Amino acid sequence: MATTRFATVVRIAAVLTVAGLAAGCGKKEPAETAGEQSAAEVVITSPVGFVWKWEGTQTPVERITPANPSDYTLEFLPDTTVVAKIDCNRGHGKYQMEGKSILIGPLATTRMACPPGSLDAQFAQQLDAARVIFFRGDTLYMDLFADSGTMRFSQLAEPQDT
């Protein structure tokens, strides 16, 4: 009798396990209607096709934040050219990407003297030090050489002349 009761308990446990697994494997219906996509579902795998504004850089010792992020922009073109707005200066050069690895420059830039408080030199220096590129949602990040910081960029709503 104990063996029969044990076999019954094992069968019930097996049925409950299979039912639980089947319930977890059901198809989830999307919350949005066809054609809509939530911000959490945005997946960007390349910087090409967007103009990126610099939101700031987090280093091991400080956070650098431009007063006007749209004064510092990058546009990666399909022909491996990068166009930059570096506060009051403009620049262009080449970039190389292989997987998550990136190299930018050297950039040929205008050499106007930007107003006091400009982050033009820091921005240009950090672009030169960029080594790893990655995305989280619609935000672009670039890790700098030797763990010296991470630059963060968001998309400009409208492309600007560079």
Please tell me the distance from the alpha carbon of residue 22 to that of residue 27, in angstroms, as a whole number. 10
Task: State which fold the 46-155 domain adopts.
Answer: Lipocalin (2.40.128)
Residue 43's closest CA among 154, 156, 138, 141? 138
Region 125-142: what's the mean pLDDT? 96
Q: How far is CA 81 from CA 28, 55, 97, in A?
A: 42, 22, 11
pLDDT at position 20: 40
What global pTM score does this model have? Answer: 0.71
Please tell me the distance from the alpha carbon of residue 91 to that of residue 79, in angstroms, as a whole number. 16
Region 89-117: what's the mean pLDDT? 96
Q: In terms of pLDDT, which residue wins out, 36 or 45?
A: 45
